[in-house]
A and B are shown apart, each in its own frame.
Chain A
Amino acid sequence: MTLALPACVPGAEVRCAELPRTAPQGIAFSEDALVNCTASRLRTELGIHALTEVPIMGRVADLAFMHDGALVTMEFKISNWRRAIRQARDHRLAADFAYICMPERQLTGALLSALETNGVGLAFCTPSGARPFEVIVEAPRSVDTWSTARSVLCRYIATLTDGWCIAHLPIAPWTAQQMRA
């Protein structure tokens, strides 16, 4: 994958930085705020149309976007990375790369091991940084991707415009001919 926009930190070095849990104004970040901030910065600063709250196979991914032809999903969590990884693992059925995105935190052996086992990447969100997020552990390309679910998701991202409407994942009844077309 060439997720070139944020810098990668090679080797997943242990970092002991303080968690950027608060904005400069002293307002605590919520997950929603992190998601919206990241989506907004991807759009405005990098021209990537990122969609928030995207349904994937019965789950809802916080963020999904296309980049260099790859479909990337991100699950944001302030804490509870185990839950985030469980969710991101399911995103791999439709996405090419699945990440969890958290405020900067100490990397533990358990976290790194879980990321590797589940084929999920890690990014730190940096609301006030130079980039929307920094990839700390690169996600491997998913070997679980179900082409049908991926196609549905791509079409969903491509067709949904701003604001929520009752959207139908444009598929049923889906015949093989339509798929091939």
Chain B
Amino acid sequence: MTSISAMPGKTDGIAVPIAGPHLIRYGTAGDQKFLLDDFLPHYDQLVINARMVAHIRSALASFLIHRAKNKPYLIDPETHAFQHRLAYILSSSEKKNGELKRSVRLLVDAYGAPLHGAVIEQARPVVPDDFSDPDTVAGFADRVLTFQAKAIASEAEESPAAKYYQFRAKKGVAEPTNFRPTVLVAPYFYLEAETFTQWLPVNLACFEAARAPARRFGIPLAMQITVHENVVRSPELRRQLLEGCRSVGAPDLFLLWLDNFPEGGTGTGMSSLEAAVALVGELGDVAPVVNLHGGYLSVALMRSGTLPALVGVAHGLEYGESRSVIPVGGGVPSSKFYLPALHARLIYRDAVRAVRALGGFESQAAFFERVCNCAECQLVIEDDPDAEFYAYGDVNVRPPSGKGRRPIPVPTPATKGHCVRHYLWRKAEEYAGETDPKVIAASLRGAAMALEEELGLEYTAPVQRWAALLDPAGVGGTPVP
């Protein structure tokens, strides 16, 4: 394995092609400011969507190489986007209504056949039959990997920062670098129970075809598994998946995306969590696994060694601990405060109730001890938490957009900044936090007991489930200070 832009991480002596366990998904250009400066050393790697790369590749290259000081990254090729209804990838702007979004069009042009024929010429999504010709699959895999290997690297090599890195390498004070991703991702498509048997062979063929270009670039190759919960919960489909993966040879890494699977969601019951844990364990027999959309449970399972195969967990900045494969409406953003005790984002009014129940409004010291003492909270809570906590919920009111509509409270930019920075500091803490599963479980139970009466089971039941997974025999909780 050759790691290009980052030294590979190691888990139990096994080299893995990521720079460390803490991965952050780069969502929008607006995310950049949160990922720099003081926070830059507190995460290991970025995961960037191919559409974003296609859309702003020069700006991204500049950000990664110059401002983010050559932060390791990988690119999600997002090939699954072309198997769903095209409506999801069409522009909704007035001028270009009905046309492919610009970033999608750029990707289609880069990936070529069979996407081009289906999406551009026939205005339909791709289907498994489009991948029946091995030469077509080989060409497609080659182009998808070439895009990942070169899109940012070729821009970066032209940048002034590249000369600086080359200078440092010549002087022997830094490793030579060529700004490439740490791992390439084979083309992949979404797997759900109804169409599983049709798309799994396509995924396997794409992975096999991607081996040659990956070798040519000298970059490790990952297989991305993007699945609906109905596959995860079926032992038979999991067996077929695993058998298929073994049949094409082990990848260097699995990237796992569980579709719309919030670990702390009310609908994500114990049996679902157990099935997901089983899947990671089974994949882990073949290769290390990164959860591309994970929350605290994933981090705790990784940190505690409960799931040794899990070597990395990625999250986004705001709504990033689970994600739907089919895009869902954005809706109006609302203030959410990440409550460290429950490892969950709470609607602001519930956060107020929780902080009050924990006694966090009593004094600055009480807030720091019982709620949070991250760098952001230390800036925001100067003296009187009862008043200053409002900084996490302050809003502007957008006027009604038409008759019968209502005014919309929207978090101010400052509020958003406070909430995101607080969240990121807490996540950094989690990735470096407790490793004893019994201690983690006791802490979770304690928090759930302390807040159940105030918040109800919506927030506390998931935490109890996490505790049960981490320490099945455990009872009782560590009291919240």
| Interface residues, chain A, with chain B CB atoms under 8 Å away | 32, 53, 55, 57-60, 90, 93, 144, 146-149, 152, 164-169, 171-176, 179
Contacts and interface: CB of A to CB of B under 8 A. Distances in A.
Contact of A172 (B356, B398, B408, B414): B414
Contacts of B412: 168, 172
A57 B406 CA distance: 15
Nearest to A93: B349
A173 B391 contact: yes
A55 B394 contact: no
B479 interface: no
Interface stretch (B56-64, B241-249, B381-389): B381-389
Interface in B366-422: 382-384, 386-391, 393-400, 404, 406-409, 412, 414-415
Given A57-B352, A175-B387, 9 more contacts: A53-B406, A58-B393, A93-B353, A148-B387, A164-B399, A164-B400, A167-B397, A169-B397, A176-B387
Contacts of B349: 57-59, 90, 93
Contacts, number: 85
Contacts of A174: 387-388, 390-391, 394
B365 to A, nearest CB: 14
B43 interface: no
Given A172-B414, A173-B414, A175-B382, A55 B352 contact: no
14 contacts: A53-B400, A53-B407, A55-B397, A59-B349, A60-B408, A148-B389, A164-B407, A167-B396, A168-B396, A172-B390, A172-B391, A174-B390, A175-B387, A179-B387
Interface of B is mostly: mixed
Contact of A166 (B347, B387, B393, B397): B397
B335 interface: yes
B397 A32 contact: no
A60 B384 contact: no
B348 interface: yes
A32 B390 contact: no
Contact of B390 (A53, A164, A167, A171): A171
Nearest to B400: A164
B399 A166 contact: yes
Contacts of A148: 386-387, 389-390
Nearest to A165: B399
A32 B398 CA distance: 18
Given A53-B406, A59-B349, A166-B396, A146 B356 contact: yes
A121 B224 CA distance: 54
Contacts of B393: 57-58
